[in-house]
Amino acid sequence: MKKCVIIGAMLALSGCVQVDKYEDVVKAPAPAGLAGYWQSEGPQRAMVSPEAIATLIVTPEGDTLDCRQWQRVQGVPGKLMLRGEDVYNVTNKKEVYALDRDGTRLDYDRMTLKRVDRPTVECADYLTKHPLPTPLP
């Protein structure tokens, strides 16, 4: 019985993505159509408030900025990582989020983001003060 439980636990955990050292993550270039600006549209259950806004910025080279704003702006830089055919955003806080794009929609961290032409003014200001290692699209 113990072996069945252990094997079951190993199988359940085998699909998980874990990052021990952010510096060891190999940055992957953005797949076709992923580079650019993505923003939440309307209230999102994963956000703190219906007025909160999430923006994800992805450079063609694979650098990212997860910018969330409600009462203040919080920006977390990261980089894209590939595992097989799956794409993940790994933040410098070692948080790992799957990216699943369907046309102009992106599923990210229990939210649905849409492609936009530019980030919010607040995220653009944050980005000016904390630039990414590679240029924006």
Query: Residue 136 has what pLDDT?
Result: 74
Is 52 among the domain residues? yes
| Structural domain that includes position 114 | 20-129
Report whether 31 contacts 61 (CB < 8 A): no
Alpha helix stretches (DSSP H) within the chain: 2-13, 121-129
Q: Which residues pair with 77 in a beta bridge?
A: 65
Is 135 among the domain residues? no
Residue with tokens 């007025």: 51
Query: Residue 9 has what pLDDT?
Result: 36
Query: Residue 55 has what pLDDT?
Result: 95
Q: Which residues pair with 64 in a beta bridge?
A: 58, 78
Cα(88)–Cα(101) distance, rounded to whole angstroms? 11
Query: Residue 43 has what pLDDT?
Result: 63
| 18 three-class SS | coil
Query: Residue 50 has what pLDDT?
Result: 72
Query: Residue 34 has what pLDDT?
Result: 95
Number of domains, the chain: 1
pLDDT tens across 106-130, in order? 999 999 999 999 999 999 999 999 9
Is 98 among the domain residues? yes
Q: 10 Å Cβ neighbour count for 25?
A: 18
Q: Which residues of the chain have pLDDT under 70?
A: 1-17, 42-48, 137
CATH number at residue 92: 2.40.128.500
Report whether 116 contacts 106 (CB < 8 A): no
Query: Residue 52 has what pLDDT?
Result: 86
